[in-house]
């Protein structure tokens, strides 16, 4: 393939990150471009990164030594999703007009990513979407597909995701299967040891599970009932738990209030606003199981063979391992039955490798070095499926 000429002006690429999770997933891509020295790499940090209540995780981005970090506060506590979207579009629009990037890179299904795709498209900037074409059970799926339709280039995790984008009328030449970037971190030999992680976070117990539970925005009226059931179940189990605060979605305050009221001070529970991604992966690899409704339970955990107890509808239709992921409704007896299967000893399942081989960053860099990407027109056209494929 023809490659990008290093001698011409560097292409300016802006990565948008709004949460600890999406930065953890895309930082290998950022590093690959930065280390190549042939791109002008920038980061637009917003969302949860800027909130003290979530650990002000923009500092974690700074610790990686990346230059050109633009910090933007797009909301405060209890700001509605539509206001966050509007605020972020406004901030990005001004930023794009000032810095004039050649490409904006967004990830996943958060409103900050949707804002990036909208603002980029409206300013005639190439938009690249990481991990489009996937399905889930809440408003997140709507947002993800909307981002894909506003994007010009797609970097997807697997062939199934590519097929869905083709069904959505995306051009096959614009879709690149690179795997999931978080697998790059999972496979890294530089993950900290369990001893280092436990010392850093003051974790005393050896046997533990990880709880990550997010608000289901399409079932917001039931959030308080759901989290009370889950917390009561964990209290009635005999397991130790590392508890990580949820994302800043509507309903999050009900979840954190339940933790603070009923779990804080209990010696079997360690509660954290945020845990650095590499440290989280080490904890997950060594946990008896992970419980809640985080995507980590249907992606990272199966890759590591760690049992996952997936509760409720948030991850509905997401690619799941046939073994190792156990789906539960909000019934205490059902959840407790799953917990009891894995609380006494560590059980591991065969690794499920649906999301690449850990070389996403290499594939990403190789593709961005090709001329065809930069010759991509910003005027998209819907590609109809052939009749025989319908």
pLDDT in tens, 270-293: 999 999 999 999 999 999 999 999
Residue 18 maps to a domain: yes
**Residue 390: pLDDT band with limits 50, 70, 90:** very low
Contact indicator for 92, 115 with CB cutoff of 8 Å: yes
Q: Residue 318 contacts by C-beta under 8 Å, 6 or more apart in sequence?
A: 134, 135, 136, 137, 295, 298
Residue 4 maps to a domain: no
Query: Beta 153-156 vs 126-130: how paired, if at all?
Result: parallel
**Domain check: are 311 and 281 in the same one?**
yes
**Domain check: are 326 and 375 in the same one?**
no
257-261, 297-301, 336-340, range with the lowest pLDDT: 297-301
Sign of CA dihedral 115, 116, 121, 123: positive
**Domain check: are 306 and 366 in the same one?**
no
Per the listing, tokens 């999406």 go with 22
**Domain check: are 253 and 173 in the same one?**
no
Find the largest Cα–Cα distance for the chain: 65
Cα-to-chain-centroid distance, residue 355: 13
Per the listing, tokens 């795709």 go with 117
Residue 237 maps to a domain: yes
**Domain check: are 205 and 308 in the same one?**
yes
pTM: 0.89
The C-alpha atoms of residue 58 and residue 323 are separated, in whole angstroms, by: 36
Total residue count of the chain as it appears in this document: 390
Residue 129 maps to a domain: yes
Q: Is the pLDDT of residue 7 over 80?
A: no
**Domain check: are 174 and 201 in the same one?**
no
The C-alpha atoms of residue 376 and residue 12 are separated, in whole angstroms, by: 15
State pLDDT tens for residues 61-120.
Answer: 999 999 999 999 999 877 888 999 999 999 999 999 999 999 999 999 999 999 999 999
**Domain check: are 176 and 51 in the same one?**
yes
Residue 101 maps to a domain: yes
Q: How far is CA 145 from CA 161, 166, 356, 384, in A?
A: 11, 12, 21, 17
Residue 388 maps to a domain: no
The CATH number that applies at residue 223 is 3.40.50.2000
**Residue 1: pLDDT band with limits 50, 70, 90:** very low
**Residue 354: pLDDT band with limits 50, 70, 90:** confident
**Domain check: are 199 and 176 in the same one?**
no
Contact indicator for 134, 159 with CB cutoff of 8 Å: no
Cα-to-chain-centroid distance, residue 194: 23
**Domain check: are 162 and 292 in the same one?**
no
**Domain check: are 156 and 199 in the same one?**
no
**Domain check: are 173 and 226 in the same one?**
no
Edge-to-edge strand ranges of the sheet holding 11-17: 69-71, 39-45, 11-17, 103-107, 126-130, 153-156, 175-177
Residue 390 maps to a domain: no
Q: How far is CA 383 from CA 168, 171, 191, 262, 341, in A?
A: 8, 6, 43, 53, 48
Q: How many domains, in total, are found in the chain? A: 2
Residue 348 maps to a domain: no
**Domain check: are 133 and 218 in the same one?**
no
**Residue 355: pLDDT band with limits 50, 70, 90:** confident
State pLDDT tens for residues 14-39.
Answer: 999 999 889 999 999 999 999 999 99
Domain that holds residue 270: 194-342
């Amino acid at each position: 393939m023809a490659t990008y000429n290093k001698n011409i002006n560097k292409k300016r690429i802006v990565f948008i990150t709004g949460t600890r999770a999406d930065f953890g997933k895309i930082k290998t891509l950022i590093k690959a471009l930065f280390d190549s020295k042939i791109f002008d790499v920038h980061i637009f940090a917003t969302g949860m990164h800027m909130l003290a209540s979530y650990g002000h995780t923009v500092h974690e981005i700074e610790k990686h030594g990346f230059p050109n970090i633009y910090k933007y506060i797009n909301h405060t506590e209890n700001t509605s999703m539509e206001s966050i979207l509007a605020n972020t579009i406004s901030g990005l629009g001004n930023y794009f007009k000032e810095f004039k990037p050649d490409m904006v890179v967004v990830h996943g299904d958060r409103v900050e990513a949707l804002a990036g795709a909208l603002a980029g498209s409206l300013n005639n900037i190439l938009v690249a979407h990481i991990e489009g074409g996937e399905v889930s059970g809440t408003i997140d799926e709507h947002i993800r597909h909307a981002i894909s339709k506003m994007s010009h280039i797609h970097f997807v995790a697997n062939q199934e995701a590519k097929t869905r984008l083709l069904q959505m009328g995306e051009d096959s030449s614009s879709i690149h299967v690179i795997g999931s970037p978080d697998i790059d971190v999972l496979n890294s030999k530089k993950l900290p040891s369990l001893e280092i992680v436990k010392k850093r976070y003051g974790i005393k117990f050896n046997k533990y599970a990880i709880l990550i539970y997010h608000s289901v925005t399409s079932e917001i009226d039931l959030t308080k009932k759901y989290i009370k059931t889950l917390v009561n179940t964990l209290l009635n189990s005999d397991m130790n738990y590392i508890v990580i605060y949820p994302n800043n979605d509507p309903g999050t305050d009900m979840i954190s209030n339940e933790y603070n009221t009923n779990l804080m001070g209990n010696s079997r529970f360690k509660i954290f606003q945020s845990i650095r991604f590499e440290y989280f992966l080490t904890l997950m690899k060594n946990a008896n199981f992970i419980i809640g409704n985080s995507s980590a339970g249907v992606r990272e955990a199966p890759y590591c063979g760690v049992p996952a107890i997936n509760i409720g509808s948030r991850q509905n239709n997401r690619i799941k391992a046939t073994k190792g992921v156990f789906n539960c409704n909000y019934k205490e007896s059902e959840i407790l039955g799953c917990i009891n299967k894995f609380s006494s000893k560590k059980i591991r399942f065969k690794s499920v490798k649906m999301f690449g081989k850990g070389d996403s960053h290499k594939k990403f860099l190789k593709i961005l070095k090709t001329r065809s990407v930069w010759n991509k027109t910003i005027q998209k056209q819907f590609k109809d499926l052939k009749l025989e494929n319908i």
